[in-house]
């Protein structure tokens, strides 16, 4: 559906926005699925698996160092900036939570402060040992020659990401679920809506009677019934229009 309506966010007290790779495409970040997607390459899938880090940590670091470099060079686009602007316009008592499946840090750099990085951040590093108390830390270093070691326990350091065969951190999952409990407007942007567990967010929001809106380049097709509204187009074009400052629906 083209010709989307503007959303008057002043009508809603609990807003949850789920974002995926499509919102960062205009910033030069490759998407994961579809034509040209990262997960079409079996090698990249292998290097994004938590089990691979155990056997070939340097290979994993070389791949994700490239992704780190790309994220550092990228800039927030109009979609990221529109959501940051939306947060600034909220009145007292309104809540907004962005749950992003992206790891590029662009929401924060655009100015959004209420962000749950559901799959971690490529711009952070943490210890690989589950018994170490070193907290994840911001890191712009590129590890392409050797695997860094934890300064506290000596175990290999790793990107602070949720890789394949790894679970979403309990704290991030709980924060997302708490936001959904208060949700009366749920918007998914630039995501296929098929990756578990985020794929179930729309159902939880809908069960609460929330308005549900899908913004993406490609339609959900028959699966659109899970969303009340669907508007198609590039995120950097549709998001500023839908969340413009003028009066809306």
Name every residue whose Cβ is closer than 8 Å to that of residue 168 and which is 6 or more positions away in sequence.
Answer: 118, 119, 162, 197
The sign one gets for the Cα dihedral 104, 106, 109, 112 is negative
Distance of CA 42 to the CA centre of its chain: 22
Two structure tokens written together for 81: 């900036």
Distance, CA of 148 to CA of 60 (rounded, Å): 12
What is the CB-side half-sphere exposure of residue 129 using CA atoms within 13 A?
12
Both structure tokens of 192: 């296929």
Instruction: Supply the residues annotated as catalytic.
Output: 119
Q: What is the CA radius of gyration of the chain?
A: 18
């Amino acid at each position: 559906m083209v010709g989307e309506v503007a959303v008057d966010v002043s009508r809603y007290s609990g807003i949850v926005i789920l974002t995926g790779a499509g919102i960062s495409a205009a910033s030069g970040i490759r998407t994961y699925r579809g034509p040209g997607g990262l997960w079409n390459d079996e090698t990249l899938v292998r290097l994004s698996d938590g089990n691979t880090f155990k056997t070939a940590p340097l290979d994993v670091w070389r791949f994700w160092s490239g992704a780190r470099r790309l994220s550092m060079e990228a800039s927030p686009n109009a979609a990221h900036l529109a959501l940051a602007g939306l947060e600034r316009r909220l009145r007292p008592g309104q809540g907004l939570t962005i749950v992003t499946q992206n790891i590029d840090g662009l929401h924060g750099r655009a100015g959004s402060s209420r962000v749950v990085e559901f799959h971690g951040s490529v711009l952070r590093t943490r210890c690989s040992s589950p018994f170490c108390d070193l907290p994840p830390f911001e890191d712009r270093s590129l590890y392409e020659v050797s695997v860094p070691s934890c300064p506290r326990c000596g175990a290999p350091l790793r990107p602070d990401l949720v890789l394949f065969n790894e679970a979403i951190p309990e704290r991030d999952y709980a924060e997302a679920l708490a936001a959904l409990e208060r949700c009366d407007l749920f918007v998914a942007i630039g995501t296929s809506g098929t990756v578990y567990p985020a794929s179930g967010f729309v159902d939880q929001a809908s069960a609460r009677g929330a308005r549900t809106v899908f913004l993406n380049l490609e339609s959900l097709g028959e699966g659109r019934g899970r969303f009340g509204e669907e508007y198609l187009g590039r995120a950097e074009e549709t998001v500023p229009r839908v969340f413009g400052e003028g009066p809306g629906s």
